[in-house]
Amino acid sequence: MKISFLKLILISLVAFALIIFFLALNIEKRYSTEKIIGKSVDNFELEFLNNDKVFKKQDLANDEFHLINIWASWCLPCRKEHPILMTLKKENKLKIIGMNFKDKKLNANNFLRELGNPYDFSLSDKDGTQSILFGVYGIPESILIDKKHKIIRKFIGPLNVKDSEDILQLVNEK
């Protein structure tokens, strides 16, 4: 059977359109943290929550893991994850940094007084711009950093028991 040139072009165009649709359906269409994992932490500068001193990337200890927890007193899920952070506080090899996000100092301190302070360093990101360096788009989020200041895990949403176990495993295996 002889296929005409016209039909050949038509079939090619339909096949081409189907391939494009198929590829488009498989494209990742959501926020992804893939690129941030394995990268070294960007230089950052954050004021302490209760004084004007500044905490920089250079202030991260070289022989310890750090968990940066982004939180606020107005954030309800932050309340939910707080007991997990209080448990993680007991781990000696891990330093927890609290990055208070777009919050009032008074409210933040009241929150910590009421529920306990799990943070080794309480910092403040008043306008939220420093959180962009960590790819944050909502709170709470937590970022686990290894001894070489490389981001090894990112937890979106409130930490749960499983996350806590994962963090402890990572901290103790390396």
Partner 1 sequence: MKNKFLIIFFCIFFVEPSSADINKLETKIFKNLRCIVCQGQSIAESNSDFAQTIKIVVRDKIDQGDNEKEIYEFLAEKYGEWIIYKPKFNYINSLLWFSPYIVLVFGGLLIFKYLKRGKQ
The residue type at 34: E
Site pattern 108..147 for partner 1 (x: CB under 8 A)? -------------------xxx-xxxxx-xx---------
Is the CB of residue 145 less than 8 Å from the CB of residue 168?
Answer: no
| Closest alpha carbon to 60 in 5, 2, 121 | 121
Nearest approach, Cβ of residue 159 and partner 1 (Å): 20
Nearest CB to partner 1, comparing residues 27 and 106: 27
Site for partner 1 (CB under 8 A): which residue of 15, 32, 110, 160?
Answer: 32
| Residue 38 engages partner 1 in binding (rule: CB under 8 A) | no
Site for partner 1 (CB under 8 A): which residue of 80, 102, 147, 153?
Answer: 102
In this structure, what token pair is assigned to residue 99? 């990055």
Length of the chain (residues): 174
For 60, other C-beta atoms within 10 Å of its C-beta total 19
Site for partner 1 (CB under 8 A): which residue of 29, 90, 113, 162?
Answer: 29
Nearest approach, Cβ of residue 9 and partner 1 (Å): 5
Cα radius of gyration rounded to whole Å, the chain? 23
Is the CB of residue 44 less than 8 Å from the CB of residue 133?
Answer: yes
| Closest alpha carbon to 87 in 3, 173, 157, 159 | 159
Nearest approach, Cβ of residue 170 and partner 1 (Å): 22
Judged by the rule CB under 8 A, the positions of this chain that interact with partner 1 are 5-6, 9-10, 12-13, 16-17, 19-20, 23, 28-36, 39, 102, 127-129, 131-135, 137-138
